[in-house]
């Protein structure tokens, strides 16, 4: 029997009244009805239309252009979102390259081609990525990235070799001077990757990463199991993928203090005890289903006590629905994810114990067919809302999504998986007074959604570029986690209106 | 009842709408023809073709040879469309490979004060080297006609 779910849709809304660090503004505004919005922070992201964007991606002769840009959400009305003309941050990367094994052999400073260079403005959608020139065209080690102008861009350089340390700095685009990056030699961190008998594991991949997001290139162990990575002084973590590029779990060694002469440690893997998992995925009629992804996530693995490790393995079923996975023995969480085109739901098989040198046969695993989720969307007065857009997404598994539009009676019906879903409901185009709503549905086959969209808190403004209104710019209010709270499109006069959900 | 249901996480899949009922005008017009002096009258049925205005894509301006160059960590593409018949529009996105964690704003209606209505949908795509050279598609449909926009994704890495 279906359960009637009455939902007053509200996300908790916000506006902003004070300035804070970054673009997010802590809010304590009370709306007319006394809603308290304390502690919520939003920003406004503006994605210009193609006509404005097209001229921003490259330095070309022609009209100027603007790139996507974030703005503080600091007032409810009269927002003027002035897009700034894109600028180029250019520079060169050189580094001191030395012999990895002999300090007696002097190195030299060379241009670093093929390095990944990124610019990110924290707390915004503004970023750019590129690769330094390898010298085939233009100066070796040079780069040029187009961004919306701002101070405070985090610049990261990841050289292509683990023997050249990564580099981080802060850049202000107001400076016309090229960014000259001369990467110091850095400090060596080295060690071996070994099996439990102390024998080297050849070809294992190791890289270092820092809490602020910087990471090094990957080093592969040599014939004696040695790896070497250079990093700036600081606290670094190191990750190794073990034998056969991922057959072993990935091991992480955290918080390695690197200073003075560097640091050294080994990765030592336990014995490789493999077990086999087999099964057959079928539909309701007992036929095998091909193309299903069996996703195995490592739980408590044999021999890995005391390690920080993780492993995610995926295998696909063949045309008859059979799958085989050879994995490290221990406990694995198994999920089955049907292909997107199949009218079948996913299945959480649960935790499965796989023993070494043994075959665990899950036999037939039946996927349930998709079901019909039905519901009705009304406004706060109870009036039905035709034309509301209802989208649903699986909250786990493959995160498949579906969209439906309510009919003249405000009802919708959509074919979905019978698993927990997250619904987002956008009001119809002629009800600009309403805010979007979200709701979770635990069991679609047993529930009828009765959703009520509330009148939203209005926020309005204009999008401009070089003082002129910008039509067809997408304006989105998002929070720090990237969740969208409201979306709008600027009209021919550049004006937009958003409706923020009330708490 | 207008009921559209699309799977927008369905790479390579063609959207399969559920049922939609629409008026089908098979109109019979009476035409009286006199033949010679016989004075014989009869009716000739004339079928009036049903003409549906397909969705009109306003953005992107050009629909061919589009490239999406992934420069930022997340790139967003927007498709904006109108329908002269006033039909509801649905958008479906096809992203391959499917396990890229993209995010879709589904078909969003917007109506101007003068009554002009258009629909838009956005796709936010993370910069993933696996996308290099892949095709990204967006179909816009009123359930009778479908217009497709296609990009080639470029990721320099």
For residues A206 and A222, the answer to whether their CB atoms sit within 8 Å is no
Chain A residue at shortest CA distance from B109: A429
Contact A125/A44 with Cβ under 8 angstroms?
Answer: no
**CB nearest A49 (choices: B59, B90, B112):** B59
Task: ipTM value, please give it.
Answer: 0.75
Residue B11's pLDDT band, with cuts at 50, 70 and 90, is: very low
What's chain B's average pLDDT?
A: 71
Give how far A303 is from chain B: nearest CA, Å: 31
By Cβ distance, the residue of A57, A389, A430 closest to B107 is A389
- Report chain B residues whose CB lies below 8 A from the CB of A50: 59-61, 78
| Residues in chain B, total | 157
Beta bridge partners of A94: A111, A182
Q: Which residues of A touch B74 (CB under 8 A)?
A: 125, 127
Chain A residues with CB-CB distance to B9 below 8 A: 340, 393, 398-401
CA–CA separation, A189 and A267 (whole Å): 13
Closest CA to A40 of A19, A25, A30: A25
- Judging contacts by C-beta atoms under 8 Å, the chain A residues touching residue B109 are 387, 389, 426, 428-430
Token couple for B29: 């017009």
Q: Model pTM greater than 0.90?
A: no
Residue A472, both tokens? 């067809």
Using CA atoms, how far apart are residues A256 and A236, in angstroms rounded to an integer? 5
CB contact under 8 A, B156 and A399: no
Query: Is the pLDDT confidence value at B4 over 60?
Result: no
C-alpha distance across the termini of chain A, in Å? 31
Task: State the pLDDT at residue A59.
Answer: 64
3-state secondary structure of A350: strand
Q: Which residues contact A47 (CB under 8 A, 6 or more apart)?
A: A53, A68, A473, A474, A476, B76, B78, B122
Give chain B positions within 8 Å (CB) of A398: 9, 98-99
* Pick from A19, A23, A54: nearest CA to A465: A54
Kind of pairing between the strands at A371-379 and A447-453: parallel
Minimum distance, in Å, between the CA of residue A109 and any CA atom of chain B = 24
Q: Do A415 and B18 touch (CB under 8 A)?
A: yes
How far, in Å, CA of A393 to CA of A271, rounded?
41
- Tokens 């706060």 map to which residue? A380
Q: What are the tokens at A471?
A: 């039509």
* pLDDT score at A26: 39
CB A269 within 8 A of CB A244: no
| Tens digit of each residue's pLDDT (9 = 90 or more) over B42-82 | 555 566 667 899 999 999 988 888 999 999 999 999 999 99
Q: How far apart are CA A367 and CA B21, in angstroms?
A: 31
What distance in Å separates the CA atoms of residue A170 and residue A97, rounded to the nearest whole number?
Answer: 24
Determine, for residues B4 and A400 on separate chains, whether the beta-carbon distance falls below 8 Å: no
Put simply, the answer to whether A400 touches B119 (Cβ < 8 Å) is: no
How far is A17 from A31, CA to CA, in rounded Å? 12
What pLDDT, in 10s, does the model give residues B106-149? Answer: 788 887 777 788 899 999 888 988 889 998 999 999 989 999 99
Q: Which of A122, A120, A121, A118 is nearest to A132 (CA)?
A: A118
Q: CA of A243: how far to CAs of A101, A201, A221, A295, in Å?
A: 24, 7, 11, 20
Nearest to residue A498, comparing CAs of A489, A238, A124, A353? A489
Token pair of A72 as six digits: 């503080």
Cα–Cα distance, B37 to A87 (Å, whole number):
84
- In this prediction, residues B6-25 reach a mean pLDDT of 31
Chain A residues within an 8 Å CB radius of B108:
389, 426, 429, 487, 489
pLDDT tens-place values along chain A, 503 residues long:
444 443 333 332 222 222 233 444 433 333 444 443 445 688 999 999 988 887 776 666 666 889 999 999 888 888 999 999 999 999 999 998 776 666 555 677 889 999 999 999 999 999 999 999 988 877 899 999 999 999 999 999 999 999 999 999 999 999 888 999 999 888 999 999 999 999 999 999 999 999 888 999 999 999 999 999 999 999 999 999 988 777 899 999 999 999 988 999 999 999 989 999 999 999 999 999 999 999 999 999 999 999 999 999 999 999 999 999 999 999 999 999 998 778 999 999 999 999 998 999 999 999 999 999 999 999 999 999 998 889 898 988 878 888 888 999 999 999 999 999 999 998 887 788 899 999 999 999 999 999 999 999 889 999 999 999 999 999 999 988 888 888 889 988 999 999 888 76
Instruction: Tell which of A119, A146, A401 to mutate to test the B interface (max B CBs under 10 Å).
Output: A401
Mutation target to probe the B interface, by most B beta carbons within 10 A, among A402, A411, A426, A484 is A402
Burial of A417 (0-12, 13-18, 19+ CB in 10 A): buried
Shortest Cα–Cα distance, B32 to chain A (Å): 41
Return d(Cα A128, Cα A90) in angstroms, integer: 12
- B1 closest CB neighbour out of A47, A408, A415: A408
Closest C-alpha to B120, from B150, B156, B77: B77
Contact A407 B12 (CB under 8 A): no
Which residue in A185, A325, A187, A336 sits closest to A246, CA to CA? A325
DSSP calls for A387-402: T-EEEEEESSTT--EE
Distance in angstroms (rounded) separating the CA atoms of residues B46 and B133: 51
Q: What is the pLDDT of residue A218?
A: 96
Output the pLDDT for position A112. 93
Structure token pair of residue A483: 């969740």
User: What pLDDT, on the 0 to 100 scale, is given for residue A171?
Assistant: 95
CA distance, residue B63 to nearest chain A CA (Å): 12
Question: A284: Cβ–Cβ under 8 A, 6 or more apart, which residues?
Answer: A366, A367, A368, A369
- Asked if A129's CB is within 8 angstroms of B127's CB, the reply is yes
**Please, what is the end-to-end C-alpha distance for chain B in angstroms?**
49
Min Cα separation A131/chain B (Å): 7
* Chain B interface mutation, best of A59, A339, A389, highest count of B Cβ atoms under 10 Å: A389
With tokens 């497709």, the residue in question is B148
Q: What letter does residue A243 receive in the DSSP assignment?
A: G
Q: Which chain B residue shows the shortest CA-CA distance from A147? A: B72
């Amino acid at each position: 029997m279906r359960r009637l779910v009455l939902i007053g849709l509200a996300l908790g809304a916000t506006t902003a009244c004070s300035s804070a660090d970054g673009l997010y503004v802590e809010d304590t505004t009370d709306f007319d009805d006394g809603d308290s919005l304390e502690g919520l922070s939003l920003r406004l992201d503006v994605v210009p239309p193609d006509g404005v964007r097209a001229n921003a991606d490259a330095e070309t002769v022609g009209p100027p252009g603007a790139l996507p840009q974030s703005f503080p959400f600091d007032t409810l009305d009269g927002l003027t979102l002035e897009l700034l003309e894109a600028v180029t941050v250019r520079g060169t990367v050189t580094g001191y390259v030395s012999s990895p094994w002999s300090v007696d052999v002097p190195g030299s400073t060379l241009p670093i081609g093929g390095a990944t260079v990124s610019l990110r403005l924290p707390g915004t959608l503004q970023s750019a990525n590129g690769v330094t020139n390898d010298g085939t065209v233009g100066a070796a080690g040079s780069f040029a990235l187009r961004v919306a102008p701002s101070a405070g861009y985090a610049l990261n350089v990841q050289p292509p070799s683990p023997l050249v340390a990564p580099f981080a700095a802060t850049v202000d685009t107001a400076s016309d001077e090229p960014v000259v990056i001369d990467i110091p030699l850095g400090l060596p961190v080295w060690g071996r990757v070994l099996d439990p008998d102390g024998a080297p594991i050849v070809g294992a991949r190791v890289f270092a990463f820092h809490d602020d997001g910087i990471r090094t290139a990957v080093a592969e162990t040599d014939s004696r199991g040695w790896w070497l990575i250079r990093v700036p002084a600081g606290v670094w973590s190191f990750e190794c993928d073990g034998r056969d590029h991922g057959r072993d779990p990935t091991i992480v060694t955290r918080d390695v203090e690197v200073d003075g002469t560097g640091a050294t440690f080994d990765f030592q893997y336990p014995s490789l005890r493999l077990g086999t998992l087999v099964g057959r995925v079928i539909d309701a009629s007992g036929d095998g289903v091909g193309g299903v992804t069996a996703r195995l996530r490592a739980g408590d693995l044999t021999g890995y006590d005391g390690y920080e490790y993780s492993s995610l393995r995926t295998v696909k079923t063949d045309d008859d629905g059979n799958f085989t996975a050879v994995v490290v023995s221990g406990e694995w969480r198994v999920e089955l994810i049907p292909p997107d085109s199949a009218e079948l739901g996913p299945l959480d098989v649960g935790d499965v114990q796989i023993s070494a040198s043994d075959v665990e046969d899950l036999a037939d695993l039946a996927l349930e067919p998709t079901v019909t989720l039905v519901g009705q969307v009304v406004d706060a007065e109870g009036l039905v809302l035709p034309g509301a857009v209802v989208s649903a997404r699986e909250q786990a598994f493959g995160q498949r999504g579906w969209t439906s539009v309510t009919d003249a009676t405000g009802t919708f019906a959509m074919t979905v998986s019978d698993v927990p879903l997250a619904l987002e409901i956008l009001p119809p185009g002629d009800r600009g007074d309403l805010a979007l709503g979200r709701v979770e549905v635990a069991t679609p086959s047993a529930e009828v959604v009765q959703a009520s969209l509330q009148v939203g808190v209005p926020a309005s403004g204009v999008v401009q570029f070089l003082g002129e209104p910008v039509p067809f710019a997408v304006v989105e209010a998002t929070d720090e986690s990237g969740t969208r709270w409201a979306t709008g499109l600027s009209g021919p006069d550049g004006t937009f209106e958003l409706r923020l959900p009330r708490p | 009842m207008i009921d559209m249901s699309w799977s927008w996480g369905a790479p390579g899949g063609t959207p399969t709408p559920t049922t939609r009922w629409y008026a089908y005008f098979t109109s019979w017009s009476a035409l009286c023809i006199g033949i010679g002096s016989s004075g014989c009258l009869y009716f000739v049925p004339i079928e009036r073709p049903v003409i549906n205005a397909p969705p009109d894509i306003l953005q992107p301006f050009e629909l061919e040879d589009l490239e999406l160059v992934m420069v930022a960590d997340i790139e967003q593409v927007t498709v904006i469309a109108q329908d002269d018949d006033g039909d509801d529009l649905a958008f479906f996105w096809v992203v391959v490979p499917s396990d890229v964690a993209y995010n879709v704003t589904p078909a969003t209606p917007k109506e101007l004060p003068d009554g002009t209505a258009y629909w838009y949908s956005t796709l936010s795509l993370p910069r993933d080297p696996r996308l290099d050279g892949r095709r990204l598609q967006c179909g816009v449909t009123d359930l009778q006609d479908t217009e497709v926009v296609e990009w080639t994704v470029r990721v320099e890495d």
